[in-house]
Structure 1
Amino acid sequence: MNQSTRAVLLGPLLKSVSRSFYLTLRILPAGMRDPVALAYLLARAADTIADTSLIAPQLRLELLLSLRAQVNGAPDDGALARIAGEVAGQQAQADERALLESLGGALAILPQLSKADRDAVRDIVTTLTTGMEFDLRTFPDETSGEIAALGEFDELDRYTYLVAGCVGEFWTKMTYAHMPGTLKAAPDIMLAGGVRFGKALQMTNVLRDCARDLRIGRCYLPSSMLARHGIAPRELLAPDASDKARPVQDELLQTTIALYRDALAYTMAIPSSAIRLRLACLWPIMIGLETLVLLARNDAWLDPERITKVRRNDVYRIMAASMPLVASNGLLKVWAERRISDIQAALNGATRP
């Protein structure tokens, strides 16, 4: 592959499909950018395959597993052609089509990485696609009208590792590999912190996207937790569901807050001299906690017309606000505790409409 093609894949194409992540990627130290960017592109392509509901789940699963095998060194030009022809053609967004049509080029970058980076990218994409496989095997066809729920919290916890906690782990490995001497804490401590960091972000996604997921048959709220409050998964579609399921949301928000505290500790363990790396960690924490504040204040959190979302202008505001905080652990603690207090106040009913 020539350098111009690689530059397009890891530059404009990545930017078009990664939205806010691209902002984080741009400030990463140079050595980390290519393996992290490539892992993102491959995982995003896999996610697009898994989520294309106009294609039967069994075919999506087949193509997903084929892509995983190709990432791990088993070429399959026929599967690439099917992905480009059958899946790309179903995408409403031009950038998603371009990504799927460019998979051959993305896979060709893998051998250009160092062996350590190549192995790390393969590991993370394998784990992430295992999470996508779990979705396809666990939940019904999106058009079936049926709903399936996870059983116990342990299943949700495992799921958040497969689709996000492993990313924190990968990120930490990349930091040790490409910024030697930066992280002073023992690797096992930082790796565990990275896992909890990723889980914090995915728990936020689970709660934010719950209304939409329910309408495609996916209930990530464990049925055991719902049952304690006399709720069946299908009842979450009812107009009064947001209020009835509030205790479950509150419990999961408390769990998520604890994960964010660990994510903040992870960030504060990065030396203040590594500003770029600290910012790359701080931005998703700040956006995530802002999302939790909005969720806690949203009395209609299970209404698909009232999805909680941090607006683009607020993302830029958050990024600007991070600059005077990023180098000071003391300021970071004060800021985080204020946002957590806002969440707790909303949970106690002080600021709900």
Structure 2
Amino acid sequence: MGDDDALQSHLLDGVSRTFALTIPQLPPVLAKPVSNAYLLCRIIDTIEDETALASPDKRRFCQQFVRVVQGREAAEPLRDELGPRLSESTSPAEHELIHLIPRVIAITHRFDPPQREALATCVEIMAKGMAEFQDRDLRYGLSNMDEMSDYCYYVAGVVGEMLTKLFCHYSPEIAAHREEMMKLAVSFGQGLQMTNILKDLWDDHSRGVCWLPRDTFEQYGFDLRELKPNHDNPRFCEGFRQLVGIAHGHLRNALAYTLYIPARETGLREFCLWALGMAVLTLRKINKNLDFSDSAQVKITRRAVKATVFTSRLLRSSNSLLNAAFYLAGFGLPRGSNRLPGSGHRTDT
């Protein structure tokens, strides 16, 4: 496969059907670096998720990958050492991605310097941040909401910052709102990641991991050590409902972020709106089934995905109609604070 775009499309289709669907909505000049950025982030995820690697090895491979992205080391030695260490727990598509690291990095290094800087910064922060959580005992949740926000920043908020840099590089009109959008981008990422954490509660629980904040549930008198599937505990449901409200607040910021994008940039708006719409509909299902015991019970249907795509395309050019549609989609959801995450982690405005 000699064509960069064809290669990246093939790899994306294997490791993320969602991004394989949304990224092609972007203008081609943006779709290429965004595709590459997602693949770089997925390589970090693959290293972090590999059960056959001990924590020191994961850190070493991630640090080596950061240097590869920065252009300080060649990609081939990393591929040659990491590839054989991957187990069957890593999917065939991810095995292929690791095998093709040199091809992916070659694409990275052909971008403009500001684009390369955006991707390299994202990879470096994500790699360091995820390592902070690698050795923790996560069976009974994180200590507090601040820790949950930190985790969401490292796996999603930093991606929002990186995308905003790429959008600003693409459009001077978008760049005029860089400071406001960089703040909202972190919140956008946290809203999406919190939605995934809530939806995947029991998938994570089955492998001994919980990303929920203990302090949120302690205020309702529930200890996450007692959490088991098929529970019927109203105290847990109250804490979970509060997290739904916080996620909803971040998604309101996500809409504000999207509306900074000029209406004529329909592809960029759809890229954001599809993710936002599917997240809101997922929160609705969760809120109606707070005692769910399987992620399949709160997964939105193909019909809901199609409805999101149709509605986004119909309303994408009207800020007032998008605001109204978001209000209706979120009607009945708890309305937690949409206060922006703290700026302590942020590296650039």
- What's the TM-score once normalised by structure 2's chain length? 0.88
CA displacement at 1:320 relative to structure 2: 1.6
Partner residue, 1:201: 192
Aligned 8 A contact 1:61 1:136 in 2: no
Aligned 8 A contact 1:275 1:327 in 2: yes
Partner residue, 2:154: 162
| Alignment match of 2:73 (pick from 34, 53, 75) | 75
Partner residue, 2:210: 219
**Counterpart AA for 1:84:** G
Partner residue, 2:310: 320
- The secondary structure found in structure 2 opposite 1:181 is helix
Q: 1: CA distance between counterparts of 2:109 and 2:280? A: 38
Partner residue, 2:85: 86
Number of residue-to-residue matches in the alignment: 334
Aligned 8 A contact 1:183 1:270 in 2: no
Alignment of 1:278-297 (within 5 A): 278-297=269-288
Partner residue, 2:339: none
CA displacement at 1:61 relative to structure 2: 3.2
- 2:183 is the counterpart of 1:192: yes
Q: 1: CA distance between counterparts of 2:312 and 2:21? A: 14
CA displacement at 1:319 relative to structure 2: 0.6
Aligned 8 A contact 1:84 1:101 in 2: yes
- 2:143 is the counterpart of 1:151: yes
Partner residue, 2:50: 52
Question: 1:149-189 CA distances to partner (integer Å, 9 max, x unpaired)?
Answer: 2112111112111111111111111111012224553x211
Alignment of 1:250-265 (within 5 A): 250-265=241-256
CA displacement at 1:263 relative to structure 2: 0.8
Q: 1:115 to 1:149 in 2, by over 3 A?
A: same
Q: 2: CA distance between counterparts of 1:191 and 1:293? A: 27
Partner residue, 2:29: 31
Aligned 8 A contact 1:208 1:308 in 2: yes
**Counterpart AA for 2:331:** S
Partner residue, 1:143: none
**Counterpart AA for 2:316:** V
Q: 1:231 to 1:22 in 2, by over 3 A?
A: same
Partner residue, 1:339: 329
- 2:224 is the counterpart of 1:233: yes
Question: 1:290-349 CA distances to partner (integer Å, 9 max, x unpaired)?
Answer: 000011011433x2365521233432231122221111111111111112114349xxxx
Question: 1:68-122 CA distances to partner (integer Å, 9 max, x unpaired)?
Answer: 23222332644321221111x4246322221111112112222211111111110
Q: 1: CA distance between counterparts of 2:295 and 2:162? A: 35
- The secondary structure found in structure 2 opposite 1:343 is coil
- The secondary structure found in structure 1 opposite 2:314 is coil
Q: 2: CA distance between counterparts of 1:254 and 1:305? A: 19
Question: 1:37-66 CA distances to partner (integer Å, 9 max, x unpaired)?
Answer: 111101112101211224434433332332
- 2:265 is the counterpart of 1:267: no
| Alignment match of 2:169 (pick from 177, 182, 187) | 177
Alignment of 1:131-150 (within 5 A): 131-139=129-137, 147-150=139-142
Partner residue, 2:238: 247
Partner residue, 1:277: 268
Q: 1:195 to 1:299 in 2, by over 3 A?
A: closer
Partner residue, 1:103: 101
Q: 2: CA distance between counterparts of 1:163 and 1:93? A: 20
Q: 2: CA distance between counterparts of 1:33 and 1:235? A: 45
Q: 2: CA distance between counterparts of 1:167 and 1:332? A: 24
Question: 1:127-162 CA distances to partner (integer Å, 9 max, x unpaired)?
Answer: 22233213313246xxxxxx2421121111121111
Q: 1:35 to 1:98 in 2, by over 3 A?
A: same
Question: 1:10-63 CA distances to partner (integer Å, 9 max, x unpaired)?
Answer: 221222222111222111122222221111101112101211224434433332
Percent sequence identity over aligned pairs:
28
**Counterpart AA for 1:315:** V
**Counterpart AA for 1:68:** V
Q: 1:135 to 1:311 in 2, by over 3 A?
A: farther
**Counterpart AA for 2:71:** G
Q: 2: CA distance between counterparts of 1:133 and 1:154? A: 17
Question: Which is worse superposed, 14-23 or 280-289?
Answer: 14-23
CA displacement at 1:207 relative to structure 2: 1.0
Question: Which is worse superposed, 195-204 or 215-224?
Answer: 215-224
Q: 2: CA distance between counterparts of 1:332 and 1:176? A: 22
Q: 1: CA distance between counterparts of 2:168 and 2:296? A: 41
